[in-house]
Amino acid sequence: MKQLDLLDSPLHGKVKGERHIMEFPFFDLSRRARRKRLRYSDETRGITIDIKAVEGSGIATIYDKDMIVYVASLIVQELANGGSPRREYQFSANDFFRVAGRDRSKRSYSNLENTIERLKGTLIRTNIETGGEGIDGWFNWFDSGTALQYARDQETGEKRLKMIRVVLCEWLFRAILRDGKMLEYCDAYFNLRPIERRLYDLARVHCEEQATWTLQLEPLRQLTGSDSELSKFRSQLAAISEEDRLPDYDIRLVDEYGQALSARAASLAKVFVVFSRREFLIGDGNAMGPINNLLVEQSGPNVEGTA
């Protein structure tokens, strides 16, 4: 049997993400996996998330998440083709690089091992149920059996990557299979920076069934999983808004009266962030009416993190 016959790739069509991991902060927003712990809680919704890294490593990053998204999309593809989804999938690095918009450099290949190790090593504990079931203890994104498979070149003796084998955790597999809350990503997603990815995820989730979504600045910072100071977080959002860096969505910083804010105006406690689908923009962006006329979530979650 040829190697290609053993692979579940290539992935055809759009990439899709699972709603839970798009809505809540499960990943480090840095490239270098510097964060050791991330805790999030929302008393209003009764949700808790606790994430920690194994010794000597950091928790999985927003870029490591690309591989989870890729595998989830393979599962959705198999469901659409009438197949029988399972937790174990095998695919080529080249197809993953193609979908995730990465080059095929030696550095990209060497980074794969770190990605796999973090996704196997990051420990997650949450009371979010999937498929009608929950898990009381810790689990990993990828289970035992996940590995990079190499072959040895008979002439040069060099190792050559044959395939990537992934065993997806039961928690996420149930979510994909039973909950059916998969959302399609735009093509530009993989070109976004870390905070832009989180903002896109949140816009995609909360503007799916409504045209706009509004949240105060601090609860939004916590929901993104950002560990930046609130003033810096505000500056980041202002720059993203001004430069129009979110595909398909607009974000605006406004006060409680719906008035657009300059980069430094108003108390941080009085800053609201409005997400809108591009086809549904409110007015001219300068006056939107009292913020209470929009959907506002004021009571906040709590998030903790350690580097």
Provide the pLDDT confidence category of residue 244 given band limits of 50, 70 and 90. Answer: very high
CB 249, CB 277: distance < 8 Å: yes
Residue 242 above 50 pLDDT? yes
Residue 287 pLDDT exceeds 90: no
- Average pLDDT value for residue range 246-257: 93
Q: What percent of the chain has pLDDT over 70?
A: 88
Q: In terms of domains, do 29 and 155 share one?
A: yes
Q: Are residues 195 and 179 in the same domain?
A: no
Band of pLDDT at residue 1, cut at 50, 70 and 90: very low
Domain boundary among 134, 150, 184: 184
At 279 the pLDDT is 77
Rg (CA), the chain: 20
Q: What is the pLDDT of residue 4?
A: 46
Which token pair is 123? 């420990």
Q: What is the mean pLDDT of residues 271-286?
A: 75
- Verify that 122 and 234 share a domain, yes or no: no
Instruction: Give the count of domains, the chain.
Output: 2
Kindly report, residue by residue over 67-100, the tens digit of the pLDDT: 999 999 999 999 999 999 999 999 999 999 999 9
Give 106's pLDDT tier (boundaries 50, 70, 90): confident
Same domain? 43 vs 153: yes
Same domain, 165 and 59: yes
Which of 147, 165, 184 represents a domain boundary (last residue)? Answer: 184
pTM of the model: 0.89
Q: State the pLDDT at residue 186.
A: 96
My answer on whether 170 and 57 are in the same domain is yes
> Do residues 156 and 284 share a domain?
no
The residue among 217, 297, 205, 298 whose CA lies nearest residue 252 is: 217
Q: Determine which of 27-36, 38-47, 231-240, 266-275 has the lowest per-residue pLDDT on average.
A: 266-275
Whether 209 is in a domain gets the answer: yes
User: Does residue 304 sit within a domain?
Assistant: no
Domain final position from 122, 150, 184? 184
Per the structure, the complete domain to which residue 255 belongs is given by 191-299
DSSP H helices in 50-129? 65-80, 93-100, 106-121
Is the same domain home to 180 and 195? no
> Which residues are registered as beta bridge partners of 124?
51, 139
137 to 24, 51, 184: CA distances (angstroms): 19, 12, 30
Q: Does 171 share its domain with 203?
A: no
Q: How confident is the model at residue 292 (pLDDT cuts 50, 70, 90)?
A: low
Q: What is the pLDDT of residues 109-134, one digit of tens each?
A: 889 999 999 999 999 999 999 999 99
Q: Per-residue pLDDT averaged across 18-32, rounded?
A: 95
Domain assignment present for residue 306? The answer is no
